[in-house]
Amino acid sequence: MNSEPGSPPTSRGGTIIAVGDSLTVGFGVAPGRSYPALLERKLREAGYDYRVINAGINGEKSGEALARIGRILLLKPDIVILQTGTNDGLRNVSPEEMKGNIEAAVRTLVENGVTVVLAGMRNLIRRKGNYDERFAAAYPEISGKLGVILIPWFLAGVAGEPGLNRADGIHPTAEGYRIVVETVYPFVVEAIERVATLQAIPPQ
C-alpha cells in the first residue's frame, strides 16, 4: 500500500535483471550510460530501492537468450526486463521461431515467480512481404497470452533518428539511451508495484 498518493510502494527492495542484446549492453557508450545503469539511477532517485543488473550480451538472438534463462534465475531476480529479437530480425530468423523462443523464456520466468517486463521490438531493417508485421506482432501476442507487462516499442522516439543513434543506425547514443529510459521507466514502476502487491499477500 502507498503511504500517500504518488509515493513509492512499500517494498523490501529487490533486483531487476535487464536481459537483452547490444541494446541492453549499451554498445558504444560507457557502462554508466547504458539504459540499465540510467534506469537504476532514476529508480533510486524516485525512492525505489532496486538494483538493476545489466545482463546484456552483444549479438544475442532470442534462442540464445532462452538458453540462458536458467542462469538468470540463479541470480534470484524479482523482475526481468526481456529485450530480445533485434538480431533475429537482422539475421532473417523467422518471426515464428523468434516468437517461440521469447514465449518459452517468458513462460519459464513467470513459472518461477518472476515479474516480467517484455520490451516490444520492431525489425530494424525492411524485409519483403509481411515479415516486419509478423515480427512486431509477436510481442503483444506473447504479452496478452502470458499476462506480462509490455513496453509497446522499446526504441520509441529513438529508432530512425540520426542524432540519437550511432552511424550504424541501430545503436543509440548516450542521449538516445536517456530517451529509452524514459520509455522503459513507467513500465518498470508498474512491475515494482506488482511485486509489492505480491509481497503484501500473506502466505497460505
**Residue 7 known to be catalytic:** no
**Side chain identity at residue 41, one-letter code:** R
pLDDT band with cut points at 50, 70 and 90 for residue 199: confident
Q: Do the domain assignments include residue 156?
A: yes
Decide if pLDDT at 5 tops 60: no
Q: Which of 11, 21, 143, 171 is catalytic?
A: 171
Q: Do the domain assignments include residue 183?
A: yes
Query: What is the span of the domain harbouring residue 162?
Result: 14-197
CATH of residue 18:
3.40.50.1110
Q: Which of 22, 34, 49, 132 is catalytic?
A: 22
Q: Do the domain assignments include residue 147?
A: yes
**Element of type H or E holding 197:** helix 174-200
**Residue 78 known to be catalytic:** no
Q: For the chain, how many structural domains are there in total?
A: 1
Percent of the chain with pLDDT over 90: 89
**Residue 3 known to be catalytic:** no
Residue 133: other Cβ atoms inside 10 A: 11
Q: Compute the distance between CA of residue 192 and CA of residue 200 in angstroms, rounded to an integer.
A: 12
Which residues are within 8 A (CB) of 96 and not within 5 positions of it... i.e. 6 or more apart? 134
Decide if pLDDT at 191 tops 50: yes
Question: What pLDDT is attached to residue 202?
Answer: 66
The pLDDT tens digits for 33-68 are 999 999 999 999 999 999 999 999 999 999 999 999
pLDDT band with cut points at 50, 70 and 90 for residue 8: low
